Amino acid sequence: MPVGPGLDLLFGPGGPETTQAPPRESCRPTEEATTRIPGVESSRRSRNATFALLVPAIAAAVSLAACSGTPPSTLKPHGPGAARIAGLWWFMFAVSAFVVVLIGALLLFSILPRRRRKGDDPDTTPAWATRMVVVGGVVFPVVVLSVLWVLTLQDMDALSQPSRPARLEIHVTGYQWWWKVAYPQQGFVTANDIHIPTGQPVRVLLTTFDVNHSFWVPQLTGKTDLIAGKPNTTWIEADNPGVYRGQCAEYCGLQHANMIFDVVAQRPADYQVWVTRQQQGAPPAATTDLLHGEQVFLSQPCVACHTVRGTPARGTVGPDLTDFGDRLSIGAGAVPNTPGYLGGWIIDSQGVKPGNKMPPIELPAQDLQDLIAWLESMR
Amino acid sequence: MDVSLEGRLEHLWEEAPGLGSWLATVDHKRIGKRYIYTAFVFFLIAGVEALIMRAQLARPDETLVGPQAFNELFSMHGITMIFFFVTPMLFGFGNYFVPLQIGTRDMAFPRLNAFGFWIFLFAGLFMYSSFLIGKAPDNGWFNYTPFSGKAFSPGLNADYYTLGLIFLGISTTAGAFNFIVTIFKLRAPGMSIVRMPLYVWAILATSFAVVFALPSLTMANVMLELDRRLGMHFFDPAHGGSSILWQHLFWIFGHPDVYIIFLPAVGIVSSIVPVFSRRRIVGYLWLALATMATGVIGFGVWVHHMFAVGLPNLSMAFFSAASLLITIPSGVQIFAWLATIISGKPVLKTPMLFVLGFLFVFVVGGVTGVMFAAVPFDQQITDSYFVVAHFHYVLFGGAVFPIFGAIHYWVPKMWGRLMDEGLGRLSFWLIFLGFNLTFFPMHISGLLGMPRRIYTYHAGLGWDLWNLLSTIGSFVLSLGILVVVANFFRSLRSGRPAGPDPWGGESLEWATSSPPPPYNFLEIPIVRSGEPVWDQPELREHAVRVQELTLAEEHETLGTSVLDAQPESILPMPEESYTPVATAFGIAVLFVGLLTGLYPVIVLGGLAGIAGLLAWFRVKEPEP
C-alpha cells in the first residue's frame, strides 16, 4: 500500500471510471514537458530542425524523474516472495548485528589497559581462552548456522512454487539491452513493461536471445538468470497495484545499466481491460496528422526492426511498439516516455543509449512531429 | 679471500652488483621485494581505476566516462586487484619471509622463483598493453560466456583476458610448487611440522589451493580461446556446448581463490598478534587446522556464486550447507586471536592497529558472507551492491588490512629502518574510516536494489546519497594509502635503524640482521620450540654457536624430512642465471604471437622459450 501519491490517484479506490486509467499517467511528465516540442515549429524550415529537438531533450534530462512508483527496495516488498526474503534478511540482520557488537565489544575490551591477573602467564594458555575458542568459534556458530540452514531450506521450499497454481504465464526474453514480453495465452507481445494482475501468482518463463541476463524485481522476488541455452522459470506475485522497477542484474555488455523494465501490477479488472486493448492491436489513426505519422513510420527503416500489430510493420529486431503510448519508458528505462525524449531518441538514440541497435533516423521536422504523435497515440 | 665465516658466506652468496645481476638474480629476498614493489604499483593503478568509477557514480546520470570506458575500468580493476595485486603481493611476502621463518638460505628452486617473478611482470605488462590499443578486457573479471564468445565480443579485449590469465597462471603455479617443496623440505632441523610458524602454514595451505584450483581457470580459458580462435563450441549452447560450464569452471577456481587471497593474510595476522600481545598464540593447533580446513572446504562452496542460475534445489541445499560450514574455521580463528589479545598485554603499534582493524572489518564481511549461504536471500541480493560491499569487506578487510599490517611489521626487517609511528597511525585511521565510509553504504544501496556493474543510474531511486558517501569515502581511503607510501619512502631515507628485532618477535626472521645478509643465517638454526627466538636465547645473540651447520664450503643449504625436520641432505643451490628471464621472455613473445595470431612470432617465442629451458637444465660441471 505505500504507493506513491500519483499511484494512489491512479489505482486508488477502484471504480469504473478509474479502470480505464492507464498506468503511464503515473509518470506522465508535467504539463510543460508535454506541450508541443519547442523548437520544432520555430525551426520548421531549418535544415537542422532535428537538432533543435535535442535541446529540450537535454533540458528535460536534467530534471529526469524516474518512471517508477516506489524505489526498488528489497526491504519494501510488495509480493509474497520478496516479503519472505525480507523476513529472512531481518532475522539474519539481527543475528549479525549481535555478532558484530559482541566481537566489537570484545575487541575494545581486549585493548583496554588492565591489571594482569595472577597466573596470567604469557607462556601458558588459560583454560578460559580455550573455552572461548571452542564456544565462540565452534559451538555458537554450529547452533546459529543450523537454525539458519533450516530457515533457508524452508524458504527455498516456499519460494520454489507459488502457494496456488499460477494460471497466467508470461514469456520474457532478454535482448541486449531490452526485454521482450510475450503473453502466449492471450496471444500478443509487448516490451519492457510487464503487466500483471494483482493478487495472483504469475509464472514467468525466462530465455535469452543473446547473452546471459538476470530478471530482478527487488520488490517482488529474487533474481533468476536468463541463461543461453537453458530456459528458466520463476514466479512473481504483487499484492498491491503499482509499478515495480526491475533491472537486469547479470552484466550483459555496454548498456547493462539501461536494461530496465517495469512490472505494472493492476487490479484484475484493469488488467483485463489492458489485455483486451492489447489484443485489438494498434488503434487506427484518427486524424490526418496521425495518419501521416503512421505513413512516416511505414516508409522509414523503422519497419525493418519493429512490429506494430494492425499495420504492415513486422520487424523483430527491436521491441514491439503496438502499445507504445502506454509504455513507461523509452530504450528499456533509458529515459521516460515523453514526446520530447521520444524525438531525441528517434533522431539520436545513440546519444541517449550508446551502443543500442537503433540507427539515427533523420526526418524533416513535420514528419518527426507526426511520427511522435502517432507513436504516442497508440495506447 | 676473507677467511672469517661471514667472509666465506658472503663470497658464496653475494650477487655481483649491476644490471647483469639485476636480471639474473635468484636471491629470494630480492625477488620478494620485486614482487612487492610490482604488485604495489598494480594496486595503485587499480586504485585509480576505482576512483574514476567512484567519481562516475558519485551522482546520478554523471557523464564523466562513457559505458565502454566504465566497463573496461571495472573489469581491469577486478582483474588487477585479484590477479596482479593481492596474490603477487602475498607471494612477495612469502618469498621473502618463508625461507627466513623456516631458517633456510633460499627457496627450494631459486631459478624457478626468479622465473615466476618475470612471468608475473611480463603478464602484467601484457595485460596492461591492452589499454595502449584501446582493447582492455571489458567482460568483468569473471568473463562469462556467451558474452565473452566471439559472437558478442569480437575484439581482442577478451583474448587479452584469456591469454593474460593463462600466461600469469604459469607464475602462480610455479610459485605455489616452490612454496610447497620449500616448506616441506628446507625447514631448519627441529622445526617439526607442529612448530611451523602459522604464517608458513597459511602459505602452505594457499599453495595447495593454487595447485588444485588454478588448472580449472586455465583450462576454462584455453577452452574459451579455442572457441574464439578455432571455432570450437565448448561454451556454445547452439552447438551442444554449455554456457554454464564456464561458470562452474570459473568458480571452481574463483571461490578457492578467495581463500588463496585470504589465507596468507590470516597467516600475517597470526604472526603479528602474538608479538604485539606479548604472549604465545592461543590455540596454535586450532589455528593450523582451521587454515587447512578452510583451504579444503573452500573447494566445496563454489555454487553459491550461481544460486540465480536455476539449479536444482537439492544441489543448492548442499552448497548452502557447505557455505555455512566454512564459517566455522573462520570463527575459530577469530576467537583464537581475540583470546590471545585478551590474555596478553597488547601493544598498539601500527601493525597491530591494522590487525585490529582487520578483525572488525572481517567480522562484518563474515556475517554478510553467511547471508549468501541463505539461498533465497542470495537470489535477492546477488549481483547487487550488497555483494560489492561484502567482498570488499572480506578482501580489502581480510587481505589488504593485513598486508598494510605486514608492510609496517616487516619493512624494518627488509630495509633495516623503522617506519614512522605517527604517520602509521594517521594512515591507519584514514584507511579504516575511509574504507568503512566507502563500502558500508554499498550494503544499503544494494538492499535498495542497485545492481552491480552499471555505469550510471537515474535519480530518484534512493541510491544517490549512498553513492555520494561511497565516493567521498574512496578518496579518504586513497589519502590513507598515499600516507603509507610517503611513510615508506620517508623510512628509507631517514627512518630510525631497526636493529635485528625491533618488535620482540618470536619467529626466525628476527634472529638475523635487518636487512638479512644474502645467506640469511650464519648458521642454519636448530629449532627446539614453536617460538624459537623467545625460547632459545642463543638465537637472539646472532652469533655462531656450534659451527656445525654453517655450510660455508659450498653454495648450499640443508634439506630435512617432511614431518620431523630431521637433517637429510646437503642441497647444492644454483647460482645467478639468465635462463629464467630468458625463458620468461620467450614465453612472453609466444603469448604476444598468440594474441596477434602471427604464426612466426608464436614459433619464435616458442623456440626462445625452449632454448631458455635447455640452457636452464644444462648440468653445470663442478668447478675444479
The per-residue pLDDT for range A137-155, each reduced to its tens digit, is 999 999 999 999 999 999 9
Residue that wins the pLDDT comparison between A38 and A132: A132
Say whether B383 and A250 touch across the interface (CB within 8 A).
yes
Mean pLDDT of chain B: 94
Interface test mutation site (partner B, options A75, A177, A223, A328, max chain B beta carbons within 10 A): A223
Tens digits of per-residue pLDDT, A331-352?
Answer: 999 999 999 999 999 999 999 9
Tens digits of per-residue pLDDT, B265-312?
Answer: 999 999 999 999 999 999 999 999 999 999 999 999 999 999 999 999
- CB of B461 within 8 Å of a chain A CB? The answer is yes
Closest chain B residue to A234 measured between Cα atoms?
B310
Say whether B383 and A145 touch across the interface (CB within 8 A).
no
Say whether A210 and B146 touch across the interface (CB within 8 A).
yes
Say whether A249 and B451 touch across the interface (CB within 8 A).
yes
Residue that wins the pLDDT comparison between B16 and B586: B586
pLDDT, residue B189, reads 95
pLDDT, residue A17, reads 33
- Find chain A residues with C-beta within 8 A of B243's C-beta: 212, 227-230
The DSSP H or E segment spanning B410 is helix B401-415
C-alpha distances out from residue A318 to A256, A303, A361, B21, B181, Å: 16, 10, 15, 63, 59
Say whether A75 and B451 touch across the interface (CB within 8 A).
no
- Residue A68: pLDDT band (50, 70, 90) is very low
Contact present, A217 and A196 (Cβ < 8 Å): no
The percentage of chain A sitting over the pLDDT mark of 70, rounded to a whole number, equals 80
pLDDT, residue B547, reads 61
Q: Is the pLDDT assigned to residue B19 strictly greater than 80?
A: yes
Residue spans of beta strands (DSSP E) within B252-319: none
Pairing of strands A221-226, A260-266: unpaired
pLDDT, residue B543, reads 55
> In this predicted structure, which of A120-134, A299-313, A314-328, B598-612 has the lowest mean pLDDT?
A120-134
Grid coordinates standing for A72? 526498488
CA distance A205 to chain B (A): 12
Closest partner residue to A111 among B333, B348, B374, by Cβ?
A: B348
Say whether A247 and B335 touch across the interface (CB within 8 A).
no
Closest partner residue to A71 among B144, B310, B462, by Cβ?
A: B462
Tens digits of per-residue pLDDT, A51-60?
Answer: 444 444 444 4
Phi, psi of B109 (to 5 degrees): -125, 85
pLDDT, residue A118, reads 55
The one-character DSSP state at B187 is P
Closest chain B residue to A121 measured between Cα atoms?
B279
pLDDT, residue A49, reads 42
CA pair distance B508, B97, nearest whole angstrom: 9
Say whether B67 and A257 touch across the interface (CB within 8 A).
yes
Instruction: Report the b/e string of A146-162 with b at 16+ CB within 10 A.
Output: eebbebbbebbeebeeb
Closest partner residue to B375 among A156, A225, A249, by Cβ?
A: A156
- Residue A283: pLDDT band (50, 70, 90) is confident
Interface test mutation site (partner A, options B64, B73, B147, max chain A beta carbons within 10 A): B147
Amino acid at B611: A
CA distance A301 to chain B (A): 24
- CB of B331 within 8 Å of a chain A CB? The answer is yes
Q: Is the pLDDT assigned to residue A237 strictly greater than 90?
A: yes
Closest partner residue to B453 among A224, A230, A251, by Cβ?
A: A251
CA pair distance B518, B15, nearest whole angstrom: 8
- Find chain B residues with C-beta within 8 A of A157's C-beta: 313
Q: Cβ-count burial of B101 within 10 angstroms (0-12 exposed, 13-18 middle, 19+ buried)?
A: buried
pLDDT, residue A115, reads 66
Residue B219's CB is within 10 A of a number of other CB atoms, namely 15
pLDDT, residue B356, reads 97
CA pair distance A159, A44, nearest whole angstrom: 57
Say whether B460 and A65 touch across the interface (CB within 8 A).
yes
- Arithmetic mean of pLDDT, B530-540: 89
CA pair distance A239, A341, nearest whole angstrom: 32
- CB of B140 within 8 Å of a chain A CB? The answer is yes
Residue B148's CB is within 10 A of a number of other CB atoms, namely 28
Closest partner residue to A133 among B237, B283, B454, by Cβ?
A: B283
The percentage of chain B sitting over the pLDDT mark of 70, rounded to a whole number, equals 98
Q: Is the pLDDT assigned to residue A4 strictly greater than 70?
A: no
CA distance A310 to chain B (A): 34
Closest chain A residue to B144 measured between Cα atoms?
A212
Residue B205's CB is within 10 A of a number of other CB atoms, namely 25
Grid coordinates standing for B278? 606479548
Say whether B459 and A65 touch across the interface (CB within 8 A).
yes
Report angle CA B233, B234, B239 to the nearest 5 degrees.
40
C-alpha distances out from residue A330 to A26, A130, A323, B403, B607, Å: 15, 63, 12, 48, 57
Closest partner residue to B310 among A126, A155, A224, by Cβ?
A: A224
Walk across the sheet containing A178-183 and list its strands: A188-191, A178-183, A168-175, A202-208, A232-236
Closest chain B residue to A226 measured between Cα atoms?
B309
Say whether A229 and B243 touch across the interface (CB within 8 A).
yes
**Alpha helices in A47-114, H assignment, sequence order:** 49-52, 54-62, 80-111
ipTM summary value: 0.93
Report angle CA A332, A263, B70 to the nearest 5 degrees.
35
CA pair distance B377, A334, nearest whole angstrom: 28
C-alpha distances out from residue B28 to A138, A268, B38, B122, B182, Å: 39, 73, 15, 19, 12
Cα atoms in the 13 Å half-sphere on the side-chain side of A327: 33
Closest partner residue to A148 among B238, B279, B324, by Cβ?
A: B324
Closest partner residue to B458 among A64, A95, A132, by Cβ?
A: A64
Interface test mutation site (partner A, options B247, B330, B380, B463, max chain A beta carbons within 10 A): B380
Tens digits of per-residue pLDDT, B177-227?
Answer: 999 999 999 999 999 999 999 999 999 999 999 999 999 999 999 999 999
